[in-house]
Structure 1
Amino acid sequence: MPGLAILLALYPAIPGVSDGLGWTAHHNAVVSVSWNLVMFGIGMLVSRHLRRFDARRVWCAGLAVMAVGYTLVGFFHGDELQLIVTSCVADLGSGVVVAVAPVLVIGVVSPDEQGLGSGMLNMLISLFGAVVTAGAYAVLGAHSTTVEGTAFCLDAGYSGIFWLGAAVTVVALVLSVFIPRLRDPEEDPADG
């Protein structure tokens, strides 16, 4: 979703043709620093204190906040302030999810399978990222106009991609009920 938000920022605002914001790349970078710092900061904070909480519940809370954030971005993305506030909410959840995902993998696989589990996590992130991105471009394409061979995106498409992100996040939240109880690393016998 953040990668597709760049299209919203950089495409021009042409009434009836393109509903982009028409920002420069520099302006977009300055505006997006806020939500990227939120994601980084919350990820660091959560990772430092994760042992105190059930990682599955923290994961679910992160997904819920992320879904709310993407839903809000779908409704409110018309200027800098709207994008900063709504994207900060989405990236608050994203930072939690990114911090907790490796802990969930390590907590459900045996110590001998941790490398395999981590590799599967990275592979699945790439796979689902590609599938969701293709879906998002289909949504954008369905809500676009073409002028002299160039497709311009309309607001319904931008809203749709963020709502797609919210829907995928809600599906992940529902599937999270199947995450088994995590192993406590301190319960494992020491190698020696």
Structure 2
Amino acid sequence: MVTAPVSVVVVVSAVGAGILARRVDPRLLLGAGGVLTTIGYGIGAEFHHTAGQIVSWGLISGIGMGMVISSVPILIISAVSPQEQALGNGAQNMVQGTAQVVISQLVFVLMAKDGKVMHGTQFYSDSGFSTGFRLVSGCCAAGALLVLLIPKAKKLDEVEAGQTAS
């Protein structure tokens, strides 16, 4: 229930960024999304003790996540030929999924380092949560910086979309 508003914000932000991508360079949307997620999780490293705090910084990172989620496929579609668009987005999806799994596991390893196991259940310390959020924030910051390496692609209105297989 606490993170439900964040999920709604992610969807609304993704739709909004998708619409904006016709007027604004999607690299800017991707970079801004990376900055917002960095800020949101950075705040979360210090303020994660109440539902209100989690929702507050979650809304910031949620806007950023929506911008990232919608910008990446647009950039791929504008950079590859119509015949390779499905392959490009499929490859991106696999890399993104793998990165999410690896980072999630690293977060839980860091959280468990200072935690305690009682009666077979892992309990995490406050410092463990802070460290985990800092790692995620750092990864988001690295992603935001990597946006600077993305070459300018065609405008979305100039992109030729591939056909689905019959």
Task: Give the alignment's TM-score, normalised by structure 1.
Answer: 0.79
Give how far 1:190 is off. Answer: 9.4
1:21 equivalent in structure 2: none
Distance 1:107 1:188 in 2: 6
2:62 equivalent in structure 1: 91
CA deviation profile, 1:91-121 (whole Å, cap 9, x unmatched)? 1111111111100111211222111101111
Give how far 1:46 is off. Answer: 1.3
Distance 2:62 2:79 in 1: 26
Identity %: 27
Distance 1:104 1:79 in 2: 37
Q: Which runs of 5+ in 2 are unaligned?
A: none
Over the residues paired in the alignment, what is the CA RMSD in angstroms?
1.8
Relative contact order (alpha carbons < 8 A, sep ≥ 6): 1 or 2 greater?
2
Give how far 1:129 is off. Answer: 0.9
1:112 equivalent in structure 2: 83
Q: Is 2:96 aligned against 1:125?
A: yes
Distance 1:109 1:122 in 2: 15
| Structure 1 consecutive aligned stretches of length 4 or more whose deviation exceeds 4 Å | 185-191
Kept after mapping to 1: 8 A contact 2:21/2:156: no
SS in 1 for 2:76: helix
SS in 1 for 2:57: helix
Distance 2:161 2:108 in 1: 49
Task: Give the alignment's TM-score, normalised by structure 2.
Answer: 0.90
Q: 1:1-192 maps to which residues of 2 (within 5 A)?
A: 29=1, 31-184=2-155, 186-187=157-158
User: Larger radius of gyration, structure 1 or 2?
Assistant: 1
Q: Which runs of 5+ in 1 are unaligned?
A: 1-28
CA deviation profile, 1:58-106 (whole Å, cap 9, x unmatched)? 1101100110000011111111111110111111111111111100111
Give how far 1:188 is off. Answer: 5.9
Kept after mapping to 1: 8 A contact 2:38/2:137: yes
Size of the aligned set, in residue pairs, is 162
Distance 1:48 1:54 in 2: 12
Distance 2:5 2:117 in 1: 33
Give how far 1:151 is off. Answer: 2.1
- Decide whether aligned partners of structure 1 residues 188 and 103 sit closer, same or farther in structure 2, where only a CA change above 3 A counts: closer
